[in-house]
Amino acid sequence: MNNRDLQATRQYHNGTKHPRGYLLNPWHRFDPASQPLLFKMYTDLESIPLPLNPSLAGVPALFATSTNIAPTAEERMPDIDTLARILYFSAGITKHLKFKWGEMAFRAAACTGALYHIELYVVCGDLPGLEAGVYHFDPGEFVLKRLRRGDYRRVLVEASGHELSIARAPAVFVYTDVFWRNACKYQAREYRHAFWDSGTVLAHTLAMASAHGLPAQVVAGFDDASVNRLLDLDTQREVALVLVPVGHTPNQEASPAPEVRPLSLKTMPISSYEIEFPAILEMHAASSLAGAEQVIAWRGKPPAVEMPAPAGRLVALQPYTEAEMTPDSIEAVIKRRGSTRRFSRESVNFRQLSTILDRALPGVPADFLEPTGATLNSAYLIVNAVEGLEPGVYVFFRERQALELLKAGDFRSKAGYLALNQDLAADASVDIFFLADLEPVLSRFGNRGYRAAQLDASIQAGRVYLATDAQQMGATGLTFFDDAVTDFFSPHAQGKSVMFLIALGKRAR
């Protein structure tokens, strides 16, 4: 399959829609008793313990969430302490919760079904406290496992078509998806969740890099086979999704890498059985790139997000000033973060909502979003209970920093219906839907544009999580009836597809 055969995305996206996507078995049921192992565990590799310095970076969450550090002539290199902190607050275990059926380890970032199918790897040169190598992050033991010794960054430089942020990075994080760990519950729709859940992790990574003064960027364009081979992945079960270069060494480039040989490393089986979903493998293959030429051609300026001129009342955002914002650190917010399971229906105030939109949606630093601040998604809101803002349906104008009222009224019950009849969306103060016009995105980027649109939405939603929790409120990501959402926001959203839904409000006791 090839990246320009756009029918592949159309078939996958339509086939995984709720309520009756033909790629989904309506009789499928998930049995928690047969849940796969939630950790990738190498059985024969030495563990390299990671330090976790208890001191805080001291950077407020609302600043770290909205700030991207630009590369300068100054060298910015993480040491092992900083690397450990970024890994921990991106994908580490932040709490253990006890249930009747046992104890569960909860991770730093939100994940569909708490199935934690996103794995993190680090490819680095020599760092203070860590030798050059290819490593896997094991959050269960909070250790690194070395897969390869030596500096293999050049493999990623070439795989990314000599992307400058990769070429100048002392370390590159690689995010992968373990299919069955999420597909066991969500079937073929898992491939959407791969980008939803890597996106929420990425929001944490970007915020933590910012808090430590390190440039970081999302790189979604790369030769898939080269990266998978470097990590020695069984691509029937696990694949690379995205790269994030962390740090900047302006006067240093990676030297030629050693030969990438097969490793055949042993890992503990995650399940006594696995069911393969061909649609996942087909969609991944159809959105893969092969060779530097394809990668270079893929990368570039995105299509403009077309927005009708405002016809309704515009309400300018009223965010808190930096002096008025909560000083809670990014680490403190991540440690207390957790997806809300019940909202109180109490009102939040308009300044709180304004601050969330202002701080969470400034634009994602990514190789498919140029210039900085570009986006592939539009944010639509159902406002149920916001003091100082009329209940109704709104669209967010990023450039104007304003909300346009599309429809006034009480839409709580409709919000619950759109979210697969879940009370959470009806009880929330606000529901934010990210919608993308996929056709121009696919025309520009090919099938890989589907990955990009999902990532753009999910990273922004991950930042909404952080900006909401920073203000002592709660948030949760929800699934949805795809076409019903588009219909509800039309004619304004005509032709767009929903990429992510996040609900926010005050937690119920």
Last residue within a domain, chosen from 297, 331, 358: 297
Let me know whether 382 and 496 are in one domain: yes
Let me know whether 322 and 394 are in one domain: yes
Q: How far apart are the C-alpha atoms of 496 and 284, rounded to whole Å?
A: 22
Total tally of structural domains belonging to the chain = 2
3-state class (DSSP) for residue 351: helix
258: in domain: yes
Let me know whether 354 and 244 are in one domain: no
87: in domain: yes
- Token pair, residue 217, equals 């960027």
Let me know whether 147 and 87 are in one domain: yes
Last residue within a domain, chosen from 297, 329, 352: 297
3-state class (DSSP) for residue 60: strand
Q: Taking every pair of C-alpha atoms in the chain, what is the biggest distance, in angstroms?
A: 63
307: in domain: no
How many Cβ atoms sit within 10 Å of the Cβ of residue 67? 17
319, 354 contact by CB (below 8 A):
yes
- Domain range for residue 263? 36-297
Last residue within a domain, chosen from 240, 271, 297: 297
Burial class (CB in 10 A: 0-12, 13-18, 19+), 225: middle
349: in domain: yes
How confident is the prediction along the chain (509 residues), in pLDDT tens digits per residue? Answer: 689 999 999 999 999 999 999 999 989 888 887 889 999 999 999 999 999 886 777 899 999 999 999 988 899 999 999 999 999 999 999 988 776 666 788 999 999 999 999 999 999 999 999 999 999 999 999 999 999 999 999 999 999 999 999 999 999 999 999 999 999 999 999 999 999 999 999 999 999 999 999 999 999 999 999 999 999 999 999 999 999 999 999 887 778 889 999 999 999 999 999 999 999 999 999 999 999 999 999 988 899 888 888 888 899 999 999 999 999 999 999 999 888 899 999 999 999 999 999 999 999 999 999 887 789 999 999 999 999 999 999 999 998 999 999 999 999 999 999 999 999 999 999 999 999 999 999 999 999 999 999 999 999 999 999 999 999 999 999 999 999 999 999 999 999 999 999 999 999 98
Q: How far apart are the C-alpha atoms of 126 and 137, rounded to whole Å?
A: 17
Residues 6+ apart with CB under 8 A from 215: 68, 69, 70, 71, 76, 165, 209, 245, 246, 247, 248
Let me know whether 272 and 187 are in one domain: yes
Let me know whether 282 and 185 are in one domain: yes
What pLDDT is attached to residue 101? 62
185: in domain: yes
Q: Using alpha carbons only, how large is the chain's radius of gyration in Å?
A: 22
What pLDDT is attached to residue 1? 67
Q: How far apart are the C-alpha atoms of 265 and 270, rounded to whole Å?
A: 15
Residues 6+ apart with CB under 8 A from 212: 57, 78, 82, 85, 86
Let me know whether 172 and 257 are in one domain: yes
Task: Read off φ and ψ for residue 449, nearest 5 degrees.
Answer: -60, -25
Let me know whether 177 and 146 are in one domain: yes
What pLDDT is attached to residue 509? 80
Let me know whether 240 and 117 are in one domain: yes
Q: Where are the alpha helices (DSSP H) in 145-291?
A: 153-159, 164-167, 179-186, 190-211, 224-230, 278-286
7: in domain: no
How many Cβ atoms sit within 10 Å of the Cβ of residue 431? 29
Let me know whether 459 and 498 are in one domain: yes
User: How many helices and strands in the chain, by DSSP H and E?
Assistant: 17, 17
pTM above 0.85, yes or no: yes
CATH of the domain at 226: 3.40.109.10
442: in domain: yes
CA dihedral over 202, 207, 211, 215, signed as positive or negative: positive
Let me know whether 230 and 342 are in one domain: no
Let me know whether 364 and 232 are in one domain: no
- Token pair, residue 19, equals 């309520």
Q: How far apart are the C-alpha atoms of 331 and 312, rounded to whole Å?
A: 40
What pLDDT is attached to residue 417? 98
Which residue(s) pair with 315 in the sheet?
403
Q: How far apart are the C-alpha atoms of 433 and 419, rounded to whole Å?
A: 10
22: in domain: no
How many Cβ atoms sit within 10 Å of the Cβ of residue 32? 11
- The distance from CA 176 to its chain's CA centroid, rounded to whole angstroms, is 12
Q: How far apart are the C-alpha atoms of 301 and 368, rounded to whole Å?
A: 6
In 201-329, beta strands by DSSP E? 238-246, 314-316
One-letter amino acid at 255 equals S
3-state class (DSSP) for residue 491: coil
> CA torsion angle for 46, 39, 92, 450 (degrees, to 10)?
120
